[in-house]
Structure 1
Amino acid sequence: MDNIIKQALHKANDHSTINNMNRVAGGSINESFLVETQCDRYFVKHHADSPVGFFELEAAGLRLIRETLSISVPKVLAFSDKKGEAFLIMEWVEGHGTSETQVKLGERLAAMHQNYGAKHGFEKDTFIGTLPQPNGLFSNWLDYYRDRRLRAQLELGVRKHSIAGRRQEQLEKLLERLEDWVPRDVPPSYLHGDLWGGNWLAGPGGEPYLIDPSFLYGDRHFELAFTELFGGFATAFYEAYASQFPLADYYEDIKPLYQLYYLLVHLNIFGETYGGQVDAVLRRYV
């Protein structure tokens, strides 16, 4: 690791002496480190067997969010996707949440969602965790969500044997009828794409920062639905968001369908632990 971190620092134009290097919590996918040099402090992620483009895509997502000037993200200093030596080096962000942090998070996310792409999806295939996420640019949200999100997880689940029998039949029926619930013509908002409670943090002054995006353009309610799935967001967050960008009337009706994608992802990564939740959504709509 010493050599990889030195490479990261050199690529970030810091050639000074490393004073401290400590492993920190950073999710289950990467090894993560706080690195302190004579010049600065950095957050370094390393993946010994990363897929092609893994950190390039994360850096691109952070850049696109940063360019909206709506919500803070860590500054990316350098990255490499060289096999066995892949890394991402960013500024170190540290702070403490205040009573206003989740209010700011809701307001800032609403502002980010009012930035739009030309089409839905993304021009490159990305990852959700380490699962490949096929993309492409689509003229409408319905086709993208059905074919690149739900169908992609269905096909993966069939290959992994996590989706079969009645579950497979119901999911295929749902895809046939998806237009009964999912809107076709909605604005393609800038979306973080993997916004659960572990993918934001409080920085200096309690300022919220988004981290670890799986960026796409799409229906903003898809993002909000995921925030409700595993917790980590206060009532004040949702109130602040709605005060800046009121939710569509269809949100409550469609929320489980949008959460279904992330449940399928977890089913395909972690197994049958999430099978019951998947089946519950399918029973509701099929």
Structure 2
Amino acid sequence: MPEHIKRIVEKATSTIVDSVVPVSGGDINDSFDVKTSDGRFFVKTNREGPESFFEREVEGLKRIASTHTVHVPEVIDFSDENHPSYLILEWVQPKRGFDEAILGQKIAQLHHHTHSQYGFSDFTYVGTLKQPNGLYDNWAKYYRDQRLRNQMTIGESLGVMKGQRANKLNQLLDQIERIVPKDPPPSYLHGDLWNGNWMFDQEGKPYVIDPSFLYGDRYFELAFADLFGGFSSSFYDGYRSVLSIGSDYEELKPLYQLFFLLVHLNIFGEAYGKSVDRILHYYV
């Protein structure tokens, strides 16, 4: 039994830990299934403990929970001060076989909640990359300056953004305000909605986890959900039963997917280069 996990959980919950079992599936954190005398918990730890790493995740979970739409795990405790840093959540026992339409409905209901501005009040994380934010009155400017331009800067430092690729991205940045709407509703967005970040519990209630929260165009969220094919047609049927998806989505989708492909290029390398180049060639 990992003794440091036992100490963390017993101190935070005032219970006796019976077992600690590693859970696979995460690239960034070490994860554990912890059974105690007072229930079962999901524990994540991060050995490097980036600044406010779990604090930002907790903020995102709480903002999603405040909408009373899609479910999120209850936060038991967290700390970014210790090494490793940690996050303790309620254990949600997943179950497959439920209709994804209910998940689509709940995500649309989440998107129906809006803020007065775009972005977020503080930095967040996308994967392992720090994401600067700020609150903007113009979505196109936020998307250009804080999303695409930031990933370009990271890519330049890593050597994956150069030559014709960099020239085309610069040209695209100059055109963003012509393509991206400046004032769509600033929806509450999960911010990292892919197939690994949602589940159903034993009763069929949909949950989302690991948010990278922001306020923005809901099509930005849908574009990432579409990127790697992790959602069924039933999900979109459920979504459309609450909110329509207009014809403008198809024109914006590649541009919104570009951000996530740049993130993957910067984290995982040139395997994502051709996809980035394809989108740049489409617009420039």
TM-score scaled by structure 1? Answer: 0.96
Letter in 2 for 1:8: V
Residue 45 (structure 1) aligns with: 44
Deviation at 1:83, TM superposition (A): 4.2
- Distance in structure 1 (CA, Å) of the matches to 2:204 and 2:64: 19
- Distance in structure 2 (CA, Å) of the matches to 1:139 and 1:181: 17
Residue 182 (structure 2) aligns with: 184
Map 1:92-107 onto structure 2 (within 5 A): 92-100=91-99, 102-107=100-105
Map 1:1-286 onto structure 2 (within 5 A): 1-11=2-12, 14-100=13-99, 102-286=100-284
* Contact persistence 1:110–1:245 (CA under 8 A): yes
- Distance in structure 2 (CA, Å) of the matches to 1:252 and 1:16: 52
Q: Secondary structure at the match of 2:227?
A: coil
- Distance in structure 1 (CA, Å) of the matches to 2:263 and 2:71: 27
Q: Secondary structure at the match of 2:153?
A: helix
- Distance in structure 2 (CA, Å) of the matches to 1:122 and 1:216: 5
Letter in 1 for 2:230: G
RMSD of aligned residue pairs (Cα, Å): 1.1
Deviation at 1:6, TM superposition (A): 2.1
Which runs of 5 or more residues in structure 1 are unaligned?
none
Letter in 2 for 1:127: Y
Structure 1, residues 72-92: CA drift from partner, whole Å, max 9, x if none?
000011000024220000000
Identity over aligned pairs, percent: 47
Q: 1:8 to 1:81 in 2, by over 3 A?
A: farther
Letter in 2 for 1:214: S
Q: 1:265 to 1:207 in 2, by over 3 A?
A: same
- Distance in structure 1 (CA, Å) of the matches to 2:128 and 2:49: 8
* Contact persistence 1:104–1:240 (CA under 8 A): yes
- Distance in structure 2 (CA, Å) of the matches to 1:9 and 1:167: 51
Deviation at 1:204, TM superposition (A): 2.3
Q: Secondary structure at the match of 1:254?
A: helix
Residue-pair matches, total: 283
Off by >6 Å, runs of 4+ in structure 1: none
Deviation at 1:230, TM superposition (A): 1.1
TM-score scaled by structure 2? Answer: 0.97
Deviation at 1:9, TM superposition (A): 3.7
Structure 1, residues 95-148: CA drift from partner, whole Å, max 9, x if none?
313342x11100000000001112100001011011010100000110100000
Select between 225-234 and 90-99 the one with higher mean Cα deviation.
90-99
- Distance in structure 1 (CA, Å) of the matches to 2:41 and 2:179: 45
- Distance in structure 1 (CA, Å) of the matches to 2:10 and 2:266: 36
Deviation at 1:10, TM superposition (A): 2.1
Letter in 2 for 1:15: S
* Contact persistence 2:51–2:80 (CA under 8 A): yes
Q: Secondary structure at the match of 2:182?
A: coil
Q: 1:70 to 1:62 in 2, by over 3 A?
A: same
Deviation at 1:26, TM superposition (A): 3.9
- Distance in structure 1 (CA, Å) of the matches to 2:6 and 2:236: 39
Q: 1:116 to 1:59 in 2, by over 3 A?
A: same
Q: 1:5 to 1:86 in 2, by over 3 A?
A: farther
* Contact persistence 2:9–2:17 (CA under 8 A): no
Letter in 2 for 1:2: E
* Contact persistence 2:10–2:17 (CA under 8 A): no
Deviation at 1:16, TM superposition (A): 2.4
- Distance in structure 2 (CA, Å) of the matches to 1:23 and 1:147: 39
Letter in 2 for 1:90: L
Deviation at 1:180, TM superposition (A): 2.2
Structure 1, residues 255-276: CA drift from partner, whole Å, max 9, x if none?
0000000000000001100000
